[in-house]
Amino acid sequence: MSFEFEKDLKVEETNIPGLLVFDLPVHGDNRGWFKENWQRAKMTALGLPDFGPVQNNISFNATKGVTRGIHAEPWDKYISIAAGEIFGAWVDLRPGESFGQVYTTRLDPSRAIYVPRGVGNSFQALADGTVYTYLVNAHWSLEQKKTYTFVNLADPELDIHWPIPLEESERSEADLHHPMLKDAKPMSPKRTLVTGCNGQLGHAIRAYAEAHGLEGFEYTDIDEFDFSDPKAYDKYDWSLYGTIINAGAYTAVDRAETQEGRPTAWKANAQGPALLARVAKDHHITLVHVSSDYVFDGVQEEHTEDEPFAPLGVYGQTKAAGDIAVGNAPEHYILRSSWVIGEGHNFVKTMMMLSNKVADPEDKLDQVTVVDDQYGRLTFTSDMAGAIFHLLDAHAPYGTYNLTGSGTVKSWADIAREVFDLTNGNGSKVKPISTDQYFANATSPVSPRPTNSALDLTKITETGYTPANWEETLKTYVEKELGR
């Protein structure tokens, strides 16, 4: 058998998304030949994903006509030929519009193919002694094997024209009985791990996933998975996971200034994200992490994603350290928020409760003081969950994105008045006070607050996501709480 020497390295896209065919430069003379079978730098420059192979397998096929497949496996594969020639057929078995798409070609030592996770793989040896070799980016395990899916080589719907008729080929008993495409099970997506599932954002993420029928989600909190503890990572097979959404954090900003709270804040907000970033980098996992306006000093009236960090207090310092650590994971999204409102204890619910107390003639509370020299927009966790899944589904460029509600920038006192008016029509009972006056008689440490917490939303809007107007969401939120 002969093949072409001295071709240029080039890549060809196929009709199956992500399935890439490579022409390889093979150098030969009367002694034989030599090739760079896989060259990370050159091939990633041409579009090969930096898929991180961890295992090299070889299939020796003794006789012409040996036929194997069609198997979709839970890892990416880079396939090449060391000796002989094959006819290969690939079928997309991932859920989605391309399910059932077929691509066929011949491979010899001068050609290779990259097969994404979930694309069914099969081949027929066209020469005795064919040596078929492949790199994979996950180790085989019983847990991985459970996710395999198959389709029958002889399915007429696939219309694969095998060079050697299948009835004359060598096939395994298992391959003879694989299901037809109409009965084939699509490859399940990699798992998504959500940390901090019992917090405000964690609840919103679970609600979004369940409302949209998303599968493969695992929800954990600190009692099940303390992500700041290096030993806690040992119980997971991380090759099974494709995404980590870190909704866990230490958010008690004043307690973070105390002797007891300071180390806890650093552990949860800095050390934990650093460990998550390391496992995400090692296993090509997409890491989603939530940040805060407290990483800034609040001097700028509106903060962009690239403003230098200048935190005023311990909480902001720990969040900035966490952001820096997460940035070391190549596939990451940092969503920076401010003034978060969701399920559980929060500012809006507190103001509703106080509005009811002021409205109660039997209660002696006549008015409520709220600071009026801090400015920003509310971030509702429902909006944040929507933005997280938008970035993931749209495969938006990795990096940091601001995400709050859109609309007018207002003070805490302004927002309190709106909540009072929506609850009982008694917004006039909210009296403004400066931050210094509000905390003048504090008996425990108080964290400094940024004066300006508004975040510029241009970058996330350009990805196609439009943040909801916080005042409209506030009205809906209050009405729901009131049962209207």
pLDDT, tens only, 373-413: 999 999 999 999 999 999 999 999 999 999 999 999 999 99
Decide if 130 is inside a domain: yes
Q: Residue 150: what residue type?
A: F
Check whether residue 133 and residue 116 sit in a common domain.
Answer: yes
Q: Grade residue 245 by pLDDT with cuts at 50, 70 and 90.
A: very high
Residue 362 clears pLDDT 90, i.e. is over it: no
Residue 456 clears pLDDT 90, i.e. is over it: yes
Instruction: Please give the pLDDT value at position 29.
Output: 85
Residue 454 clears pLDDT 70, i.e. is over it: yes
Instruction: Please give the pLDDT value at position 99.
Output: 97
Domain boundary among 163, 183, 203: 183
Check whether residue 231 and residue 91 sit in a common domain.
Answer: no
pLDDT (mean) for 1-17: 88
Check whether residue 175 and residue 229 sit in a common domain.
Answer: no
Instruction: Please give the pLDDT value at position 142.
Output: 86
Q: What angle do CA 382, 303, 470 make, to 5 degrees?
A: 30
Residue 430 clears pLDDT 80, i.e. is over it: yes
pTM of the model: 0.89
pLDDT (mean) for 106-117: 97
What token pair was written down for 114?
């990259």
Decide if 200 is inside a domain: yes
Question: How far apart (Å, rounded) are the C-alpha atoms in residues 176 and 174?
Answer: 5
Check whether residue 117 and residue 212 sit in a common domain.
Answer: no
Instruction: Please give the pLDDT value at position 121.
Output: 97
Check whether residue 338 and residue 210 sit in a common domain.
Answer: yes
Domain boundary among 139, 163, 183: 183
Decide if 47 is inside a domain: yes
Per DSSP, the three-state class of 374 is coil
What positions carry a catalytic annotation?
A: 71, 134
Number of compact structural domains in the chain: 2
Instruction: Please give the pLDDT value at position 312.
Output: 96
Decide if 5 is inside a domain: no
Domain boundary among 183, 215, 243: 183
Check whether residue 172 and residue 268 sit in a common domain.
Answer: no
Per DSSP, the three-state class of 146 is coil
Residue 484 clears pLDDT 80, i.e. is over it: no
Q: Which domain holds residue 52?
A: 10-183
Length of the chain counted residue by residue: 484
Decide if 2 is inside a domain: no
| Torsion from C-alpha of 144, 149, 152, 155, nearest 10 degrees | -160
What is the DSSP code (8-state) at residue 26? E
Check whether residue 331 and residue 454 sit in a common domain.
Answer: yes
